Chain A
Amino acid sequence: DVKVTQSSRYLVKRTGEKVFLECVQDMDHENMFWYRQDPGLGLRLIYFSYDVKMKEKGDIPEGYSVSREKKERFSLILESASTNQTSMYLCASRSGALSYEQYFGPGTRLTVT
């Protein structure tokens, strides 16, 4: 079974803090994603990566950056957290060209106060 893990289930940070969310997958998938999920808005893509050190912006990249130094690990960074970044953050991975299925981690509920 594919396993995607996220470093924290719940996180509370203060406005202006730098926040790191870590995601690890154990199935050697090339593609990894960061989404945020908000009520009424569904999942929105922040960034994705298709290879080590490669990244592309999704639909809402403002205020976020990412890092992929190893194939199995994809990090989301909030350089200076703001209250409007309070959300559920979901990481996902997908194998190569033959499969569209995304496997999601359990999510991190981030609250910025």
Chain B
Amino acid sequence: RKEVEQDPGPFNVPEGATVAFNCTYSNSASQSFFWYRQDCRKEPKLLMSVYSSGNEDGRFTAQLNRASQYISLLIRDSKLSDSATYLCVVNINNFNKFYFGSGTKLNVKP
């Protein structure tokens, strides 16, 4: 079983829409959670960390549900520039071991 599972999509949404992705993780000992963004043919870049109380950064909101072992990313007022693959990342109990989901592809259309 994979440590981190994501719906690969693609999610095709119009500009201005709100879209949400979920990601589930299998290890209840998981400690830290992140969303990375990867543009086509580019390297992943950190979008935001996910805190237990949930956190927001502009149009992006991340939530953690430990009981059900999932994290979510909500994007409001989607822009064309939000088109990318969003990677869910989990750190278990080793400071240098990160588990990546295979990504959810988002296409924002005019």
Residues of chain A touching chain B, judged by Cβ–Cβ distance below 8 Å, are 31, 33, 35, 39-45, 48, 50, 56, 58, 90, 94, 97, 100-102, 104-107
B98 in contact (CB, < 8 A): yes
Residues of B contacting A58 in the complex (Cβ-Cβ under 8 angstroms): 97
Question: Would you call B66 an interface residue if the criterion is a C-beta within 8 Å of the partner chain's C-beta atoms?
Answer: no
Closest 5 CB pairs of A and B: A104-B43, A42-B102, A43-B100, A42-B100, A101-B46
Cα–Cα distance between A102 and B8 once the two chains are bound (Å) = 22
CA distance A58 to B96 in the complex (A): 9
Which residues of B pack against A, CB within 8 Å? 4, 8, 32, 34, 42-46, 49, 87, 91, 95-98, 100-103
Inter-chain CA distance A73–B50, complex, in Å, is: 30
Minimum CB–CB distance for A52 against chain B, Å: 15
The answer to whether A107 and B102 touch across the interface, beta carbons within 8 angstroms, is: no
Bound complex: CA of A35 vs CA of B87, how far in Å?
Answer: 14
A107 proximity list for chain B (CB < 8 A):
43
- B101 to A: closest C-beta gap in Å: 5
**When chains A and B are docked, how far (Å) is the Cα of A48 from the Cα of B98?**
11
